[in-house]
Amino acid sequence: MGLDERRIEAYFALTEAHSLLQLLMEEQLKRDGDISYLQFFLLARLAQAPEGRMRMTDLADTVIHSRSGLTYHATKLESAGLLRREPSPTDERSVTAVITDQGRGLLEQVLPGHIALVRQGMFDPLDDPQTEALADALTLVRNHLRAMVPTSAERRRS
C-alpha cells in the first residue's frame, strides 16, 4: 500500500524544509557562536531542564542522538567550558550533564540570531491559523514517532 500524492508531497515538503532550515541554522550558529546545531540543541535543552541538568541518557533521547555521538559533542562542549559532566546524584551508573554559566552566556549570544532565523524561515510564511495547525500536526506526529522509537537505554539493552 503506497502513499497518495498529497501525503508524498507533505512528506517531501517536511524533509526538505527541515534540511533547509537546519542548513541555515548551522551557518548562523557557526557564525555567531562557533558551535554546531547539535551542540546548540544540547545546550538549549540543558538550559530548559530543571537546574540546568539532565542525565546523559535522557539528553540523548531528547536530542535524538546516539549515546556515543552525544558523548563526543559533550566532550567538546566540556572542553570549551560550556557544560560539565558529573556523577548522577540518584544513580551511580549515570552521568549528568550540567550547563555552565559560560554555556548560558553562549546561548544568550546566539539566541537572537537563531530566533530571527526561525521566525523568518519557518513562521513568516504562515498566518496564525496555519501556525496553529502546523504545531498541532507536528506535535501529533512527533508523539507518535517517539512511541515507535525505543529509548537509548532500551536500544543498549537489546
User: What are 20-45's pLDDT values in tens digits?
Assistant: 999 999 999 999 999 999 999 999 99
In the chain, helix, strand, coil percent, each to 5?
75, 10, 20
DSSP-derived 3-state class of residue 95: strand
Residue of 1, 28, 15 lying closest to 118 (CA atoms)? 28
- List of the chain residues with pLDDT < 70: 1, 65, 151-158
3-class DSSP assignment, residue 105? helix
Q: Left, alpha or beta for 52 (phi > 0: left; psi -120 to 50: alpha)?
A: left
All domains of the chain in start order, with CATH: 5-157 (1.10.10.10)
How far is the C-alpha of 120 from the C-alpha of 21, rounded, in Å?
10
Residue 94 is predicted with a pLDDT of: 85
Residue 54: its H or E element? strand 53-55
pLDDT for res 112 = 96
pLDDT for the residue numbered 84: 96
This prediction has a pTM of 0.82
Task: Note the pLDDT of residue 151.
Answer: 66
Kindly state the helix (H) or strand (E) to which residue 68 belongs, with its residue range. Answer: helix 67-79
